[in-house]
């Protein structure tokens, strides 16, 4: 995925200013595609150059923000991108590499970092669950809202999976280490 397509997706929903886009990113799309405010503003300029979006005339008065809206060419590009075939994104999770390193050279105190990460995953899960309760549970949902809910459910499942893996990792890391004489010979190691 690319930032331009994330911004086009946000603008297809409704026109807004760069600061409103940045705020929406922080509260929705940003959970799945991170971008700094500076990246968002830079990309808005590129999208405007490509004639995929346009800035609406600024309202009069001091401090008025430029609103951007999607142009037909931007909608066409978004449709083209949605229809493209994409292979699954390979997993890139630093914790998995750290666990492999811990297996090879541990103990390293990785359990403290995992506990910290678990707290962060728990916080994000709680945010997602609050959004789900507020916006989706017990409501009649349109096709659009059901798709939005599906994206949120993917985030919930991802956080639950991260918590489950972290919990199991902590359980393993907290097991007593075997005595040096009972450890397997490193020359005969195997594994994924």
Model pLDDT for residues 35-73, shown as the tens digit of each residue: 888 998 999 999 999 999 999 887 666 666 788 999 999
Mark out the alpha helices in the chain (DSSP H runs): 3-13, 18-27, 37-49, 72-83, 94-105, 110-135, 143-173
Quote the pLDDT of residue 191: 57
Q: How far apart are CA 104 and CA 115, in angstroms?
A: 20
For 137-183, the three-class secondary structure string (H helix, E strand, C coil) is: CCCCCCHHHHHHHHHHHHHHHHHHHHHHHHHHHHHHHCCCCCCHHHC
Provide mean pLDDT across the span 82-87. Answer: 89
- What distance separates the 2 farthest-apart alpha carbons in the chain? 79
**Residue partners of 68: CB distance under 8 A and separation at least 6:** 11, 15, 16, 17, 18, 21, 44, 47, 48, 53, 54, 55, 56
Percent of the chain with pLDDT over 70: 89
Provide mean pLDDT across the span 14-24. Answer: 86
pTM (two decimals): 0.76
φ, ψ for residue 69 (rounded to 5)?
A: -135, 155
Least confidently predicted of 30-34, 70-74, 118-122: 30-34
Taking only the tens place, the pLDDT of each residue in 160-186 is 999 999 999 999 999 887 776 655 555
- Kindly report the number of other CB atoms within 10 A of residue 50's CB atom: 13
């Amino acid at each position: 995925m690319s930032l331009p397509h994330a911004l086009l997706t946000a603008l297809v929903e409704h026109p807004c200013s760069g600061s409103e886009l940045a705020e929406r990113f922080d509260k929705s799309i940003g959970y799945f595609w991170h971008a700094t405010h500076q990246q968002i503003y830079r990309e808005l300029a590129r999208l405007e150059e490509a004639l995929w979006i346009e800035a609406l005339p600024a309202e009069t008065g001091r401090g008025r923000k430029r609103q951007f809206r999607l142009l037909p060419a931007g909608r066409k590009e978004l449709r083209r991108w949605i229809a493209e075939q994409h292979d699954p994104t390979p997993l890139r999770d630093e914790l998995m590499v750290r666990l492999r390193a811990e297996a090879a050279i541990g103990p390293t105190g990785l359990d403290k970092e995992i506990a910290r990460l678990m707290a962060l995953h728990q916080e994000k899960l709680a945010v997602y669950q609050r959004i789900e309760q507020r916006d989706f549970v017990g409501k009649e949902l349109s096709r659009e809202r059901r798709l939005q809910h599906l994206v949120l459910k993917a985030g919930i499942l991802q956080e639950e999976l991260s918590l489950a893996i972290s919990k199991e990792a902590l359980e393993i890391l907290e097991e007593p280490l075997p005595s040096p004489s009972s450890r397997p010979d490193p020359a005969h190691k195997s594994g994924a």
